[in-house]
Amino acid sequence: MFPALNMELEIVRTVLQNEVNDIYVCTDLLKDTGVFYTMISIRDTGCRKIMAEKLNTDRMFFSNRDFIGSFVYESRLNLVFRYYHENLLSLLGGVYLAEFTDCKRAALNLAAACAECGADPDLGMLLLDERNINVTRDGDIQFNYFLDFAELNPGIEEGAWLRKAAGTIFGILELNYKGRYESPESYPDDLRVFWLKMQTTGFPSLGHIISTIRSMADKPVEMRGILWWIRSHFRRAKGFLFRNSMTAFMTVLVTVTLIYAGVQIYTRARARRAYENNVSYNGIEYIGNVYLGNEE
């Protein structure tokens, strides 16, 4: 039992144990509310120092409504968060998010949760592990903070964190399209533009991600029929040529050369046959009764 934060925390489940930190699901013996908590107990000295600095200097998690607080107990730094039932997005997203409007709402909720969690890019990368992201039937997103600090990489740039966030959010948006199309390049325009943005310049902030999602139609227009077929095959051919530009160039060059050589051979062979079959009348005045000379 851990007496701290006006609670008496008792472990009901061990989620993780390693040389850096342990993770527990706890209940409060002082209050019979049915609420559970996630407690991260950090034993590693270096990790304790990093997290203490983030908490005290950077005010990490202090804007997060799920963060209950921190305390030191038997040389361990402990972080306590609200625990949510583990309805993992990776398992239940396809069940709860049946329509694109559901996916759009969940994507917005995930982007908002990332903005409100109060984590820096180092911890944000850990938080986006699929074991931490839950989804409800209403499309709400909840974090469980099963943060394995053995995987912590200090110094991650914000751009890398935003790319990870955008990729996770796009995974929600494409739930009802993945598998129906050959690639994201063939998705409806709203989703394709989001994907292209990820692949090129990226998003400069979570606010830009949120505004992009909000601008999407509740039901993206899917291009079908002959126009869709032509467009998809054109993109496929263009993509192949772009990826294999040198091979395509050499193939075209060899094909043109072979065609040219074939035409030349055929032309010369035809001229030779015509020459061989031709009868020369030079110097002959009569063929039978027919006079070939000049009549005066």
* Structural domains of the chain, with CATH: 2-82 (3.30.200.20), 89-222 (1.10.510)
Q: Give me the pLDDT at residue 247, please.
A: 75
CA distance 17 to 5: 23
- Supply the Cα-derived Rg of the chain in whole angstroms: 36
* Predicted pLDDT of residue 200: 92
pLDDT attached to residue 72: 94
Instruction: Say if residues 75 and 45 touch (Cβ distance below 8 Å).
Output: no
pLDDT at 272: 74
Residue 82: enclosing H or E segment and its boundaries?
strand 76-82
Query: What's the confidence (pLDDT) of residue 234?
Result: 63
Task: Spell out, as residue ranges, where the chain has pLDDT lower than 50.
Answer: none
Tell me the backbone φ, ψ of residue 105, rounded to 5 degrees. Answer: -65, -45
Which pLDDT does position 123 carry in this prediction? 95
Give dist(CA 192, CA 108) in Å, integer.
Answer: 17
| Contact by Cβ (8 Å): 159, 202 | yes
On whether the pTM is more than 0.85, the answer is no
Residue 288 has what pLDDT? Answer: 56
